[in-house]
Amino acid sequence: MKKILLVAMLATTAFTPAIAADLGRPVYKAPAAVAVPVTAWNGFYVGGNIGYGWGRFDADGVTGGGQIGYNFQFSPNFVFGLEADVQGADIKSGAVTTNLWGTVRGRVGYAFDNALVYGTGGYAWGRTELGALKDTRSGYAVGGGLEYAFAPNWSTKVEYLYVDLEGRAADFSVVRLGVNYRFPAAPIVASY
């Protein structure tokens, strides 16, 4: 009986490595992709701003108003948009005062993390006064800015615009700070 048990133990030991070798390698499964939420710049927004304007002929003054816009985020990083604004102002250049102006501009931007860097340009208009003569002029505005989302639906921005209202010394630069409320929209989700 002892001989049988000894032979059985030796046989089991001899065949164990062969059996383990026949089991194959463990199968590696990659972890599931995790969706990383990206700040959604998509959708409508409204906001307000205040700034300072200056230009030729010692033009300077305060400006402030409101804006409304829409952004289309067509990938995690690229954003197209359209924005319109109306500003009250007291920008004086010699005898010419710009007291009301606004723009309708396109925006093209690149978003990363919670920040959006953008360029902008489009139509501008303004009401100017020269003594008793009041006139509304058209022109263009170009510039750029940086917008930062500090809460799920809130962002703040700093923006530079050059505004040319065609003549009468009514061209000026503006730097302004703004706050926007972004209405909830379908988020863009990136997976890595």
Q: What is the pLDDT of residues 61-102, one digit of tens each?
A: 999 999 999 999 988 899 999 999 999 999 887 777 889 999
Residue 30 domain-assigned (yes or no): no
Number of domains in the chain: 1
DSSP the chain: -HHHHHHHHHHHHHHHHHHHHHT-PPPP-PPPP-EEE-----EEEEEEEEEEEEETTTEEEEEEEEEEEEEEE-SSSEEEEEEEEEEEEEEEETTEEEEEEEEEEEEEEEEETTEEEEEEEEEEEEEEEETTEEEEEEEEEEEEEEEEEEETTEEEEEEEEEEE-SSTT-EEEEEEEEEEEEPP-PPPEEE-
Residue 28 domain-assigned (yes or no): no
For residue 183, the model assigns a pLDDT of 94
Q: What is the pTM of this model?
A: 0.75
- Residue 89: which CATH number? 2.40.160.20
Residue 12 domain-assigned (yes or no): no
For residue 97, the model assigns a pLDDT of 84
Residue 99 domain-assigned (yes or no): yes
Residue 120 domain-assigned (yes or no): yes
Residue 172 domain-assigned (yes or no): yes
Domain hosting residue 113, numbered range: 39-183
Residue 147 domain-assigned (yes or no): yes
Mean pLDDT for the stretch of residues 114-123: 97
pLDDT exceeds 70 at position 127:
yes
Residue 131 domain-assigned (yes or no): yes
For residue 1, the model assigns a pLDDT of 64
Report the percent of the chain where pLDDT is more than 70. 76
